[in-house]
Amino acid sequence: MNDQIDPKTLSSVFTEGGVIAYPTEAVFGLGCDPDNEIALQKILDLKQRPANKGLILVAADYAQLLPYVNDALIPQERRFEIFSRWPGPVTWLLPKSETVSPLLSGDSDKIAVRVTAFEPLRSLCRQLGKPIVSTSANPAGQQPAMTAGQVEDYFSGTLDWIESGDVQGNAQPSQIFDGFTGQQLR
């Protein structure tokens, strides 16, 4: 665990393909560089999660998501609804760009993205200069970790960085909506 933030160390861990854990609005999340296939696979392996399900990207602002989203395909009639819900605990399934890894999007032609309002996580995304993969810090079938200690219990010695801090305390995971239909999926 890291009691002090050392931006150079965290940044190098992230850019070199490390898997990090960090507090989110609701639970601790596992994340990595969304452009690193080895790190994406490591997260799926740690969680015992099938690759076809895909993962969520969390960002400080929409601009960070543009390399991963095919913005031109977002329906005009949905834009206001999408952007008026951000920043906040709302994840949208938006059309993915052609460069998105199937490990990130799963079997879908969409990618799950969220612009967080949780300032520690926004700050982390800004510090790293890009969005972070975000999935709950727990093996499949287990309760999500709520503290750094619980993360360590689940993944003892297998993570490259555990960010200190507290979750916001929002007990609910983010809502998920389809960006084409507006339908709530979770």
Give DSSP secondary structure letters for 7-74: HHHHHHHHHTT--EEEE-SSSEEEE--TT-HHHHHHHHHHHT--GGG--EEEESSHHHHTTTB-GGGS
Q: Please list, residue by residue across 3-29, b when 16 or more beta carbons sit within 10 angstroms of its beta carbon and e when fewer do.
A: eeeeeeebeebbeebbbbbbbbbbbbb
For residue 43, what pLDDT is reported? 97
pTM of the model: 0.91
What are the structure tokens assigned to 149, written together?
A: 């200690």
**pLDDT score, position 3:** 47
Closest CA to 173 of 151, 139, 146: 146
pLDDT value of position 186: 84
Helix-strand-coil split of the chain, %, nearest 5: 35, 20, 45
First to last CA, the chain: 32
Task: State residue 137's pLDDT score.
Answer: 96
pLDDT of residue 173: 73
pLDDT at 169: 73
Kindly give the interhelix angle for 119-128 and 7-15, rounded to the nearest 10 degrees: 70
Residue ranges of the chain whose pLDDT lies below 50: 1, 3-5
pLDDT at 72: 96
> Can the peptide bond before residue 87 be classed as cis, meaning omega within 30 degrees of 0?
yes
